């Protein structure tokens, strides 16, 4: 994968586009990709035009040596420009939720409504994801031929079979063997930025319709953070999906879909 530098060149994010109606842009989380949202996208495409994106350094999108939230928000605005879209509803999960928030706060006129899934505009002091990156980087892909051969090589650090399966979804077969579809070098270098607070103006606000959905079993969004969220997003509504963790759209897809359909016009 060729490394694309900064914003000097046009960013061409990979995406999937299905359905007709008002455009809804869906942004995945860290280590994710547009394909993770296929099931949700197919259901929503009955009523909307659904554009699921691979964010920079993920999936089939270009690799860059930086990935601040401001840069990724600029990517989204550029994507809307490329598609000839003045506005879109934006749905973001986890890291994608922070990208969605930053886009709304910096270019609110382009965001018709905002849905943020299980993330808050705060710093997350978690070192777990950095250890994931380090472990994945340590794997010698020339010594394996199939994805399932990598699983036992990372199980000492990444104990959850579900998490391992999710991460190994980023491996693809090429004519030269297995390769990662995520830019592990940049992810490792930028992990503090990814876990941090998006750089926005102190007086920034998004006055459009906004829904924050959190999983009842997740600790990513705390009630103590609601005041900050209300300050940035005055028209926010909060909703909890009971029995769901951080990957609420995968764990409780029916409840997640209902929350979206009740909120979106």
| pLDDT at residue 229 tops 80 | yes
Query: Catalytic site residue 47?
Result: no
Residue labelled with tokens 């909703």 = 239
Q: Where are the domains of the chain?
A: 3-124+198-263, 128-188
Instruction: Indicate the average pLDDT of the chain.
Output: 93
Q: How far is CA 7 from CA 14, 62, 71, 110, 183, in A?
A: 16, 12, 8, 19, 17
Query: Catalytic site residue 94?
Result: yes
Sign of the Cα torsion 138, 193, 58, 115 reads: positive
Overall average pLDDT of the 239-251 stretch: 95
Overall average pLDDT of the 208-213 stretch: 98
Grade residue 9 by pLDDT with cuts at 50, 70 and 90: low
Alpha-carbon dihedral angle through residues 60, 61, 64, 69, given to the nearest 10 degrees: -130
pLDDT, tens digit (0-9, with 9 covering 90-100), for 32-72: 999 999 999 999 999 999 999 999 999 999 999 999 999 99
Instruction: Please tell me the predicted confidence (pLDDT) of residue 126.
Output: 67
Per DSSP, 8 falls in state T
Class (C level, CATH) for 3-124+198-263: alpha beta
Query: Catalytic site residue 246?
Result: yes
| pLDDT at residue 2 tops 50 | no
Grade residue 198 by pLDDT with cuts at 50, 70 and 90: confident
**Catalytic residue chosen out of the listed positions 185, 193, 226, 251:** 185
């Amino acid at each position: 994968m060729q490394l694309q530098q900064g914003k000097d060149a046009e960013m061409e994010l990979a995406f999937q586009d299905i359905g007709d109606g008002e455009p809804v842009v869906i942004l995945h989380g860290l280590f994710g990709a547009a394909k993770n949202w296929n099931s949700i996208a197919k259901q929503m495409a009955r009523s909307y035009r659904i554009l699921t994106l691979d964010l920079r350094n993920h999936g089939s999108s270009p690799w860059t040596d930086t990935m601040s939230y401001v840069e990724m928000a600029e990517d989204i605005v550029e994507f809307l420009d490329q598609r000839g879209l003045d506005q879109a509803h934006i749905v973001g999960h986890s890291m994608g939720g922070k990208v969605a928030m930053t886009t709304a706060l910096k270019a609110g006129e382009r965001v018709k409504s905002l849905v943020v899934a299980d993330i808050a505009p705060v710093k997350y002091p978690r070192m777990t994801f950095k250890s994931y990156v380090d472990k994945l980087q340590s794997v010698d892909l020339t010594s394996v031929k199939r994805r399932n051969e990598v699983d036992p090589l990372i199980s000492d650090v990444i104990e959850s079979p579900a998490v391992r399966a999710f991460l190994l979804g980023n491996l693809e077969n090429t004519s030269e063997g297995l390769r990662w579809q995520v830019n592990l070098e940049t992810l490792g270098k930028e992990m503090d930025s990814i876990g941090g607070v998006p750089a926005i103006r102190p007086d920034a606000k998004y006055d459009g319709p906004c829904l924050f959905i959190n999983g009842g079993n997740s600790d990513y969004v705390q009630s103590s953070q609601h005041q900050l969220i209300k300050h940035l997003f005055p028209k926010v509504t909060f909703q909890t999906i009971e029995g769901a963790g951080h990957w609420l759209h995968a764990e409780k897809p029916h409840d997640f879909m209902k929350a979206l359909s009740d909120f979106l016009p």
